[in-house]
Amino acid sequence: MLKKLTTLVLLGAYGMSAGAAEFKIKPFVEKYCINCHDEDLDKGDRRFDNIKYGDMSYHTGETYQEILDVLNLADMPPKKAKKQPTPKEVEDAIAWLTNKTTEIREHLDPRSQQTVMRRLNKLEYNLTMRDLFHLNLNDFDPSIAFPDDGEVAGLNTIGKGLVTSDFLLTEMLKSARMVAERVVRPGERPAVKKTDYKSDSKEMGKRHYASRLIGRQHINLRAKRDWRAPEDGTYNIEFEAVMLNRLKKAFPNMLKSYDYDQKSRVAVIAYDLSNTLPYTINLGEFEVNDEKPGKIKLSATLRKGAAVKIVWLNGPDGSTKKIKRKVIPKYSKDAVYSVTRNPMEMYQGAGPELQIITASIDGPHYKQWPLPGFQEFFSTLKNDSSFDELNDSLKKLAAKAFRGPIDPHKEYAFSKVAAKKFEDSKNIWTAAKAGMTTILVSPEFV
């Protein structure tokens, strides 16, 4: 395989001097290499006596690259060799080989002669969205579903490596719609609401009124149903938790995967698997107190529709069924309930157990309203604004997104799409989202 990175480095270091341009590699190889690399003595399994010097094949290019590498590393010719090239000869050989391997590589690459339209790679796309609309990307990755960017010479910023496929265009459209939903948010600041989580579990003896985890499970925060973030925004999450029976080290032989000496840790996870761009994000990891309940607080930015769950990261490994089937029968004497009761109830109170006692979520909170992206591009619009007013706002956005002035005489696709949506829906904000989405999938933007 041609070592492209080495080639690029050497091109910058040596270039092609006048002497190198006239340099012929054949006499150099025959004088300094053939003695050890011919049919009779192919040291290192390398033969240089059969090089086809006028050839532009992959094999010839690979051979040139091997010679280039050892010259660049000063490994060859060996110091014990009787014939040694002068520094000028080595310099000219390296420059000639660098130029020739580059030439062969371009000859073998069918795309080398094509004019390629470069697009934004994933990182550039995300940062452009962030800077254009002042988005918080801690919880939102607009390019999460994009395929990985192709690389050329180890770089993912070169046009011919950035393929624009049907799949990528489809995902870009989904992403643009998501961004439009986040930015075009008219109206009053959403009211802050607090939701208290209540457990459905029954009180067990003197144990806390709480939900219990006996393995590496999770608890969804819920009231009457699973809680979902009503709007994009920042939410405060607080819960009270306690770890029971870790210090007793019960069932050491049955729970071999559980480390009793390690303090219990939980993760707070936000997720949404139902949306156009599904995601799962770890909002934070925390240690849980033994025997005495403690409160854990955090703030996090959540997407609209996101749910929150608490996961016991280092609980006993294995399913709940396995714990009930194998652990309970052997240690039922320590359980709260008799052996005739439900096995889960029997186990609770006997072995390692993490409890979530109370929890609450309040939000959404915002540093400012309207949000910065909306304020910059759509703040002059109202529910009864005309299409011309909307079109002016879209042109303002397009000028910044396209990184250049808008031709006042050109009829852009985003104007046509927004006009049709406005005609059909009679809703200025629906049309604004449609026009913005069109801008974000335009060739001038991506």
pLDDT digits (tens, 9 = 90+) for 47-91: 777 777 777 888 788 888 888 888 887 777 777 777 888 888 888
- Measure the CA–CA gap between 160 and 110, rounded to whole angstroms: 10
Residue 202 confidence (pLDDT)? 43
Q: Give the lowest-confidence range in 97-101, 178-182, 314-318, 398-402.
A: 314-318
Residue 155 confidence (pLDDT)? 74
Q: What angle do CA 85, 90, 91 make, to 5 degrees?
A: 150
Residues of the chain with CATH 2.60.120.1310: 193-365
Which tokens sit at 428? Answer: 């200025």
Residue 143 has pLDDT above 50, yes or no: yes
Give the residue from 240, 247, 244 showing the smallest Cα distance to 261.
247
Which tokens sit at 418? Answer: 């927004």
Buried b (16+ CB within 10 A) or exposed e, 96-115: bbbbbbbebbeeeeeeeeee
Output 107 or 289, whichever has higher pLDDT. Answer: 289
Q: Give the lowest-confidence range in 49-58, 182-191, 331-340, 437-446.
A: 331-340
- Measure the CA–CA gap between 313 and 90, rounded to whole angstroms: 59
Q: Which helix (H) or strand (E) covers residue 11, if one does?
A: helix 4-14
Confidence of residue 33 (pLDDT cuts 50, 70, 90): confident
Contact 9, 68 (CB under 8 A): no
Average pLDDT over residues 232-245: 90
Confidence of residue 416 (pLDDT cuts 50, 70, 90): very high
Considering the four listed CATH numbers 3.90.950.20, 3.30.70.141, 2.60.120.1310, 3.40.30.10, the one that applies to the domain covering 193-365 is 2.60.120.1310
Confidence of residue 339 (pLDDT cuts 50, 70, 90): very low
Residue 342 confidence (pLDDT)? 42
Q: Which residues contact 422 (CB under 8 A, 6 or more apart)?
A: 387, 390, 428, 430, 431
Considering the chain, what percentage of its residues have pLDDT values greater than 90?
32
Q: Give the lowest-confidence range in 234-238, 276-280, 333-337, 416-420.
A: 333-337
What is residue 356's DSSP assignment? Answer: E
Contact 288, 263 (CB under 8 A): yes
Q: What angle do CA 38, 40, 45 make, to 5 degrees?
A: 60
Residue 253 confidence (pLDDT)? 57
Residue 5 confidence (pLDDT)? 33
Which tokens sit at 270? Answer: 């936000």
Which tokens sit at 348? Answer: 């609770």
Strands of 120-276, DSSP E: 193-197, 211-213, 218-220, 233-244, 265-272
Average pLDDT over residues 157-176: 85
Class of residue 68 by CB neighbours under 10 A (exposed 0-12, middle 13-18, buried 19+): buried
- Measure the CA–CA gap between 293 and 242, rounded to whole angstroms: 4
Class of residue 122 by CB neighbours under 10 A (exposed 0-12, middle 13-18, buried 19+): middle
Confidence of residue 361 (pLDDT cuts 50, 70, 90): very high
Strand partners, 307: 271
The span from the first CA to the last CA of the chain, in angstroms, equals: 33
Give the residue from 327, 358, 369 showing the smallest Cα distance to 344.
327
- Measure the CA–CA gap between 45 and 178, rounded to whole angstroms: 57
Distance, C-alpha 262 to centroid of its chain: 30
Residue 343 has pLDDT above 60, yes or no: no
Residue 235 confidence (pLDDT)? 95
- Measure the CA–CA gap between 61 and 109, rounded to whole angstroms: 13
Residue 387 has pLDDT above 90, yes or no: yes
Confidence of residue 362 (pLDDT cuts 50, 70, 90): very high
Output 224 or 229, whichever has higher pLDDT. Answer: 229
Residue 14 confidence (pLDDT)? 41
Residue 170 confidence (pLDDT)? 92
Per-residue pLDDT reduced to its tens digit, 190-217? 999 998 876 544 443 333 344 656 555 6
Contact 331, 271 (CB under 8 A): no
Average pLDDT over residues 249-268: 77
Residue 78 confidence (pLDDT)? 76
- Measure the CA–CA gap between 168 and 443, rounded to whole angstroms: 13
Residue 336 has pLDDT above 90, yes or no: no
Residue with tokens 């690389």: 151
Class of residue 308 by CB neighbours under 10 A (exposed 0-12, middle 13-18, buried 19+): buried
Question: What average pLDDT does the chain have?
Answer: 78
Residue 429 confidence (pLDDT)? 97
AA letter at 242: V
